[in-house]
Structure 1
Protein backbone atom coordinates (compact mmCIF):
# COMPACT_ATOMS: atom_id res chain seq x y z
CA UNK A 1 0.00 0.00 0.00
CA UNK A 2 1.40 3.37 -0.95
CA UNK A 3 1.75 6.39 1.30
CA UNK A 4 -0.70 8.24 -0.99
CA UNK A 5 -3.32 5.52 -0.42
CA UNK A 6 -2.78 5.59 3.35
CA UNK A 7 -3.17 9.38 3.40
CA UNK A 8 -6.35 9.12 1.32
CA UNK A 9 -7.82 6.54 3.68
CA UNK A 10 -7.03 8.67 6.73
CA UNK A 11 -8.63 11.74 5.11
CA UNK A 12 -11.74 9.69 4.28
CA UNK A 13 -11.99 8.31 7.84
CA UNK A 14 -11.75 11.88 9.13
CA UNK A 15 -14.52 12.91 6.71
CA UNK A 16 -16.83 10.21 8.11
CA UNK A 17 -16.06 11.17 11.72
CA UNK A 18 -16.74 14.83 10.93
CA UNK A 19 -20.12 13.80 9.48
CA UNK A 20 -21.06 12.11 12.78
CA UNK A 21 -20.04 15.10 14.85
CA UNK A 22 -21.73 17.64 12.58
CA UNK A 23 -25.05 15.78 12.43
CA UNK A 24 -25.19 15.20 16.19
CA UNK A 25 -24.29 18.81 17.03
CA UNK A 26 -26.62 20.14 14.28
CA UNK A 27 -23.67 21.93 12.67
CA UNK A 28 -25.26 22.29 9.23
CA UNK A 29 -22.47 24.48 7.81
CA UNK A 30 -19.95 21.77 8.69
CA UNK A 31 -22.18 19.12 7.08
CA UNK A 32 -22.45 21.08 3.85
CA UNK A 33 -18.64 21.24 3.61
CA UNK A 34 -18.45 17.42 3.58
CA UNK A 35 -20.29 16.94 0.27
CA UNK A 36 -19.30 17.87 -3.26
CA UNK A 37 -21.73 20.31 -4.91
CA UNK A 38 -23.14 17.59 -7.20
CA UNK A 39 -23.28 14.86 -4.52
CA UNK A 40 -26.32 12.75 -3.75
CA UNK A 41 -27.62 11.25 -0.51
CA UNK A 42 -29.97 8.30 -0.14
CA UNK A 43 -31.64 8.01 3.26
CA UNK A 44 -34.65 6.24 1.70
CA UNK A 45 -37.50 6.16 2.29
CA UNK A 46 -37.21 9.47 4.16
CA UNK A 47 -35.05 11.29 1.61
CA UNK A 48 -33.29 10.46 -1.66
CA UNK A 49 -31.82 13.09 -3.95
CA UNK A 50 -29.19 15.78 -4.08
CA UNK A 51 -27.02 16.33 -1.03
CA UNK A 52 -28.08 19.99 -1.14
CA UNK A 53 -31.70 18.87 -0.85
CA UNK A 54 -30.78 16.48 1.96
CA UNK A 55 -29.17 19.35 3.87
CA UNK A 56 -32.32 21.49 3.36
CA UNK A 57 -34.58 18.64 4.56
CA UNK A 58 -32.43 17.50 7.49
CA UNK A 59 -33.11 20.30 10.05
CA UNK A 60 -36.88 19.69 10.00
CA UNK A 61 -36.34 15.98 10.65
CA UNK A 62 -33.71 16.50 13.36
CA UNK A 63 -35.92 19.04 15.16
CA UNK A 64 -38.13 16.08 16.15
CA UNK A 65 -35.16 14.47 17.94
CA UNK A 66 -34.08 15.42 21.46
CA UNK A 67 -30.77 13.58 21.09
CA UNK A 68 -28.92 11.82 18.29
CA UNK A 69 -25.65 9.95 18.47
CA UNK A 70 -24.04 8.53 15.32
CA UNK A 71 -21.20 6.10 15.96
CA UNK A 72 -19.06 4.43 13.32
CA UNK A 73 -17.25 1.15 13.71
CA UNK A 74 -15.64 -0.89 10.94
CA UNK A 75 -14.69 1.11 7.87
CA UNK A 76 -13.49 -0.62 4.73
CA UNK A 77 -12.10 1.71 2.07
CA UNK A 78 -10.94 1.03 -1.47
CA UNK A 79 -9.00 3.84 -3.19
CA UNK A 80 -8.30 4.22 -6.89
CA UNK A 81 -6.69 7.52 -7.74
CA UNK A 82 -9.07 10.37 -6.87
CA UNK A 83 -12.02 8.03 -6.32
CA UNK A 84 -12.80 5.81 -3.38
CA UNK A 85 -15.57 3.67 -1.96
CA UNK A 86 -16.28 2.84 1.65
CA UNK A 87 -18.55 0.61 3.67
CA UNK A 88 -18.97 2.00 7.18
CA UNK A 89 -20.66 -0.02 9.91
CA UNK A 90 -22.62 2.28 12.20
CA UNK A 91 -25.04 2.49 15.09
CA UNK A 92 -27.23 5.56 15.44
CA UNK A 93 -29.25 6.44 18.51
CA UNK A 94 -32.26 8.77 18.33
CA UNK A 95 -34.33 10.02 21.28
CA UNK A 96 -37.69 11.37 20.18
CA UNK A 97 -41.33 11.47 21.26
CA UNK A 98 -44.19 9.22 20.24
CA UNK A 99 -47.71 10.44 19.38
CA UNK A 100 -48.60 10.58 23.09
CA UNK A 101 -45.52 12.65 23.99
CA UNK A 102 -43.59 9.80 25.61
CA UNK A 103 -39.84 9.50 25.07
CA UNK A 104 -38.93 6.79 22.55
CA UNK A 105 -35.51 5.44 21.59
CA UNK A 106 -34.82 4.48 17.99
CA UNK A 107 -31.54 2.60 17.64
CA UNK A 108 -30.44 1.64 14.15
CA UNK A 109 -27.59 -0.65 13.26
CA UNK A 110 -26.52 -0.52 9.68
CA UNK A 111 -24.01 0.67 7.15
CA UNK A 112 -23.20 3.72 5.12
CA UNK A 113 -22.33 2.82 1.55
CA UNK A 114 -20.17 5.73 0.45
CA UNK A 115 -18.53 6.98 -2.70
CA UNK A 116 -15.86 9.63 -2.23
CA UNK A 117 -13.96 11.83 -4.64
CA UNK A 118 -10.92 13.99 -4.17
CA UNK A 119 -11.30 17.31 -5.96
CA UNK A 120 -8.95 20.26 -5.55
CA UNK A 121 -7.11 18.21 -2.92
CA UNK A 122 -10.22 17.63 -0.77
CA UNK A 123 -11.91 14.28 -0.16
CA UNK A 124 -15.69 14.63 0.11
CA UNK A 125 -18.79 12.54 -0.32
CA UNK A 126 -20.02 12.14 -3.88
CA UNK A 127 -22.76 9.67 -2.89
CA UNK A 128 -23.95 8.31 0.45
CA UNK A 129 -26.54 5.56 0.97
CA UNK A 130 -27.77 4.20 4.29
CA UNK A 131 -28.59 0.50 4.76
CA UNK A 132 -30.38 -0.74 7.89
CA UNK A 133 -29.29 -4.14 9.20
CA UNK A 134 -31.25 -4.07 12.47
CA UNK A 135 -33.17 -1.72 14.76
CA UNK A 136 -34.67 -1.35 18.22
CA UNK A 137 -37.61 0.94 18.88
CA UNK A 138 -38.56 1.09 22.52
CA UNK A 139 -39.71 3.34 25.36
CA UNK A 140 -36.78 5.44 26.53
CA UNK A 141 -34.60 4.13 29.31
CA UNK A 142 -32.84 7.50 29.82
CA UNK A 143 -32.76 8.62 33.44
CA UNK A 144 -31.67 12.25 33.32
CA UNK A 145 -32.24 12.71 37.06
CA UNK A 146 -30.43 9.58 38.28
CA UNK A 147 -27.84 10.26 41.01
CA UNK A 148 -25.37 8.26 38.87
CA UNK A 149 -25.38 10.98 36.18
CA UNK A 150 -26.45 14.07 38.13
CA UNK A 151 -24.24 17.02 37.27
CA UNK A 152 -22.70 15.41 34.18
CA UNK A 153 -22.54 17.92 31.30
CA UNK A 154 -25.13 17.13 28.63
CA UNK A 155 -24.44 17.46 24.91
CA UNK A 156 -26.20 20.19 22.97
CA UNK A 157 -26.14 21.93 19.61
CA UNK A 158 -23.02 23.74 18.38
CA UNK A 159 -22.48 26.84 20.51
CA UNK A 160 -24.38 25.40 23.49
CA UNK A 161 -22.32 22.19 23.55
CA UNK A 162 -19.72 21.79 26.31
CA UNK A 163 -17.10 21.16 23.59
CA UNK A 164 -17.42 24.80 22.44
CA UNK A 165 -15.80 26.13 25.63
CA UNK A 166 -13.43 23.17 26.04
CA UNK A 167 -11.66 23.02 22.67
CA UNK A 168 -9.48 25.54 20.92
CA UNK A 169 -8.62 23.44 17.86
CA UNK A 170 -11.84 21.44 17.31
CA UNK A 171 -14.26 24.22 16.43
CA UNK A 172 -17.79 24.30 15.01
CA UNK A 173 -18.48 25.70 11.56
CA UNK A 174 -21.75 27.36 12.55
Structure 2
Protein backbone atom coordinates (compact mmCIF):
# COMPACT_ATOMS: atom_id res chain seq x y z
CA UNK A 1 0.00 0.00 0.00
CA UNK A 2 1.46 3.36 -0.99
CA UNK A 3 1.64 6.45 1.17
CA UNK A 4 -1.14 8.95 0.58
CA UNK A 5 -0.12 11.88 -1.56
CA UNK A 6 0.87 15.01 0.37
CA UNK A 7 -1.58 17.86 0.74
CA UNK A 8 -1.39 20.81 -1.58
CA UNK A 9 0.83 23.32 0.33
CA UNK A 10 -1.93 25.93 0.08
CA UNK A 11 -4.42 23.61 1.76
CA UNK A 12 -1.89 22.65 4.43
CA UNK A 13 -1.26 26.37 5.13
CA UNK A 14 -4.99 26.98 5.38
CA UNK A 15 -5.40 24.09 7.83
CA UNK A 16 -2.48 25.35 9.93
CA UNK A 17 -3.90 28.88 10.03
CA UNK A 18 -7.30 27.50 11.05
CA UNK A 19 -5.71 25.49 13.86
CA UNK A 20 -3.91 28.62 15.10
CA UNK A 21 -7.14 30.63 14.86
CA UNK A 22 -8.91 28.02 16.99
CA UNK A 23 -6.02 28.20 19.48
CA UNK A 24 -6.48 31.98 19.74
CA UNK A 25 -10.24 31.60 20.27
CA UNK A 26 -9.67 28.88 22.88
CA UNK A 27 -7.37 31.24 24.77
CA UNK A 28 -10.15 33.85 24.94
CA UNK A 29 -12.62 31.26 26.20
CA UNK A 30 -10.18 29.93 28.81
CA UNK A 31 -9.40 33.46 30.05
CA UNK A 32 -13.06 34.51 30.22
CA UNK A 33 -14.16 31.34 32.02
CA UNK A 34 -11.11 31.36 34.36
CA UNK A 35 -10.48 27.82 33.08
CA UNK A 36 -6.82 27.46 33.95
CA UNK A 37 -6.61 23.76 33.05
CA UNK A 38 -7.72 24.63 29.54
CA UNK A 39 -5.33 27.62 29.49
CA UNK A 40 -2.43 25.33 30.44
CA UNK A 41 -3.21 23.02 27.50
CA UNK A 42 -2.74 25.88 25.02
CA UNK A 43 0.93 26.58 25.77
CA UNK A 44 4.01 24.46 25.22
CA UNK A 45 5.73 23.66 28.53
CA UNK A 46 8.67 25.99 27.75
CA UNK A 47 6.50 28.93 26.59
CA UNK A 48 6.88 32.53 27.76
CA UNK A 49 4.06 34.95 28.63
CA UNK A 50 4.34 38.75 28.98
CA UNK A 51 1.20 40.19 30.59
CA UNK A 52 2.28 43.71 31.55
CA UNK A 53 2.37 44.43 35.28
CA UNK A 54 0.64 41.13 36.05
CA UNK A 55 3.37 38.78 34.87
CA UNK A 56 6.56 38.35 32.80
CA UNK A 57 8.12 34.90 32.50
CA UNK A 58 7.36 31.21 31.98
CA UNK A 59 3.76 30.70 30.84
CA UNK A 60 3.18 27.81 33.24
CA UNK A 61 4.08 30.11 36.15
CA UNK A 62 1.71 32.74 34.70
CA UNK A 63 -1.09 30.18 34.67
CA UNK A 64 -0.24 29.18 38.25
CA UNK A 65 -0.62 32.87 39.20
CA UNK A 66 -3.93 33.34 37.33
CA UNK A 67 -6.26 32.56 40.27
CA UNK A 68 -4.76 35.47 42.21
CA UNK A 69 -4.73 37.75 39.15
CA UNK A 70 -8.33 36.94 38.27
CA UNK A 71 -9.83 36.84 41.78
CA UNK A 72 -11.22 40.39 41.58
CA UNK A 73 -12.25 40.16 37.90
CA UNK A 74 -16.01 39.66 37.94
CA UNK A 75 -16.37 39.69 34.16
CA UNK A 76 -13.78 39.05 31.44
CA UNK A 77 -14.85 39.25 27.82
CA UNK A 78 -12.15 38.94 25.14
CA UNK A 79 -13.07 39.60 21.51
CA UNK A 80 -10.70 38.91 18.62
CA UNK A 81 -11.12 41.33 15.73
CA UNK A 82 -8.19 40.91 13.29
CA UNK A 83 -5.77 38.02 12.93
CA UNK A 84 -2.55 38.34 10.96
CA UNK A 85 -0.78 34.97 10.86
CA UNK A 86 2.46 34.14 9.03
CA UNK A 87 3.65 30.54 8.72
CA UNK A 88 7.22 29.24 8.45
CA UNK A 89 7.08 25.44 8.48
CA UNK A 90 6.22 24.31 12.00
CA UNK A 91 6.67 27.84 13.36
CA UNK A 92 4.33 30.79 13.02
CA UNK A 93 3.82 34.31 14.27
CA UNK A 94 0.60 36.18 14.82
CA UNK A 95 -0.52 39.71 15.50
CA UNK A 96 -3.97 39.38 17.05
CA UNK A 97 -6.15 42.46 17.61
CA UNK A 98 -8.43 42.28 20.65
CA UNK A 99 -11.05 44.19 22.57
CA UNK A 100 -11.08 42.99 26.17
CA UNK A 101 -13.71 44.10 28.68
CA UNK A 102 -12.98 43.67 32.39
CA UNK A 103 -15.37 44.33 35.26
CA UNK A 104 -13.16 44.54 38.33
CA UNK A 105 -14.28 44.43 41.97
CA UNK A 106 -12.97 47.45 43.91
CA UNK A 107 -13.81 48.73 47.41
CA UNK A 108 -17.30 47.21 47.67
CA UNK A 109 -18.20 48.17 44.09
CA UNK A 110 -16.91 47.54 40.60
CA UNK A 111 -15.21 49.44 37.81
CA UNK A 112 -15.17 48.78 34.07
CA UNK A 113 -12.00 48.59 31.99
CA UNK A 114 -12.14 48.27 28.19
CA UNK A 115 -8.80 47.60 26.51
CA UNK A 116 -8.06 47.77 22.81
CA UNK A 117 -4.85 45.99 22.13
CA UNK A 118 -2.97 43.22 20.41
CA UNK A 119 -1.25 39.97 21.22
CA UNK A 120 2.14 39.39 19.66
CA UNK A 121 2.28 35.61 19.42
CA UNK A 122 4.79 32.95 18.46
CA UNK A 123 3.50 29.43 17.87
CA UNK A 124 5.05 26.06 17.15
CA UNK A 125 3.55 22.85 15.87
CA UNK A 126 4.97 19.97 17.89
CA UNK A 127 3.71 16.42 17.46
CA UNK A 128 1.16 17.83 15.03
CA UNK A 129 -0.35 20.33 17.50
CA UNK A 130 -0.04 24.13 17.38
CA UNK A 131 0.51 25.84 20.75
CA UNK A 132 1.92 29.11 22.05
CA UNK A 133 5.66 29.45 22.59
CA UNK A 134 5.52 33.18 23.40
CA UNK A 135 2.67 35.61 23.96
CA UNK A 136 3.14 39.34 24.65
CA UNK A 137 0.24 41.67 25.46
CA UNK A 138 0.27 45.10 23.80
CA UNK A 139 -2.12 47.84 24.95
CA UNK A 140 -3.08 50.36 22.27
CA UNK A 141 -5.76 52.18 24.29
CA UNK A 142 -7.78 51.80 27.48
CA UNK A 143 -11.07 53.26 28.72
CA UNK A 144 -11.72 53.15 32.47
CA UNK A 145 -15.08 53.83 34.11
CA UNK A 146 -14.52 54.12 37.88
CA UNK A 147 -18.06 52.84 38.47
CA UNK A 148 -19.50 49.94 36.50
CA UNK A 149 -22.20 50.54 33.94
CA UNK A 150 -23.00 46.82 33.63
CA UNK A 151 -26.60 45.98 34.59
CA UNK A 152 -27.25 42.23 34.52
CA UNK A 153 -30.76 42.78 35.91
CA UNK A 154 -31.96 45.01 33.09
CA UNK A 155 -35.36 43.94 31.63
CA UNK A 156 -33.79 43.54 28.15
CA UNK A 157 -31.92 40.43 29.31
CA UNK A 158 -34.57 39.04 31.67
CA UNK A 159 -34.78 35.26 31.30
CA UNK A 160 -31.37 35.03 29.58
CA UNK A 161 -28.60 32.79 30.76
CA UNK A 162 -25.97 34.93 32.48
CA UNK A 163 -22.30 34.15 31.91
CA UNK A 164 -20.01 33.63 34.89
CA UNK A 165 -16.35 32.80 35.42
CA UNK A 166 -15.60 29.14 36.05
CA UNK A 167 -17.50 25.90 35.65
CA UNK A 168 -20.78 27.56 36.73
CA UNK A 169 -20.92 29.28 33.33
CA UNK A 170 -23.98 28.01 31.43
CA UNK A 171 -21.82 26.84 28.50
CA UNK A 172 -20.45 23.95 30.57
CA UNK A 173 -23.91 22.46 31.09
CA UNK A 174 -25.46 23.50 27.75
CA UNK A 175 -22.99 22.10 25.22
CA UNK A 176 -22.49 18.41 24.56
CA UNK A 177 -20.11 18.38 21.58
CA UNK A 178 -17.65 21.09 22.68
CA UNK A 179 -16.54 19.07 25.73
CA UNK A 180 -14.44 22.08 26.84
CA UNK A 181 -10.95 20.66 26.61
CA UNK A 182 -11.88 16.98 26.64
CA UNK A 183 -12.03 14.54 23.76
CA UNK A 184 -11.27 15.13 20.09
CA UNK A 185 -12.14 18.83 20.05
CA UNK A 186 -8.80 19.88 21.40
CA UNK A 187 -9.19 23.65 21.69
CA UNK A 188 -12.88 23.91 22.36
Normalised TM-score (structure 2): 0.88
1:108 and 1:135 in contact (8 A); partners too: yes
Partner residue of 1:55? 63
Partner residue of 1:110? 117
CA shift digits 1:23-78 (9 cap, x unpaired): 11111111100000000000122210000110011111111111101111100000
Partner residue of 1:4? 12
Correspondence list, 1:111-150, <5 A: 111-138=118-145, 139-150=147-158
Normalised TM-score (structure 1): 0.95
1:46 aligns with 2:54: yes
For residue 108 of structure 2, the aligned residue among 101, 111, 135 is 101
Q: Kindly tell me the number of residue pairs found equivalent between the two proteins.
A: 173
2:74 and 2:165 in contact (8 A); partners too: no
1:65 aligns with 2:73: yes
Query: Any gaps of 5 or more consecutive residues in structure 1?
Result: none
Partner residue of 2:25? 17
Partner residue of 2:6? none
Task: Name the Cα RMSD after superposition.
Answer: 1.3
Q: Secondary structure at the match of 2:156?
A: coil
| Structure exhibiting the larger radius of gyration computed from Cα positions | 2
Query: Any gaps of 5 or more consecutive residues in structure 2?
Result: 1-8, 183-188
CA distance in 1, matches of 2:105, 2:54: 18
CA distance in 1, matches of 2:143, 2:166: 28
CA shift digits 1:94-114 (9 cap, x unpaired): 10122x322100111000000
CA distance in 1, matches of 2:37, 2:109: 31
1:27 and 1:173 in contact (8 A); partners too: no
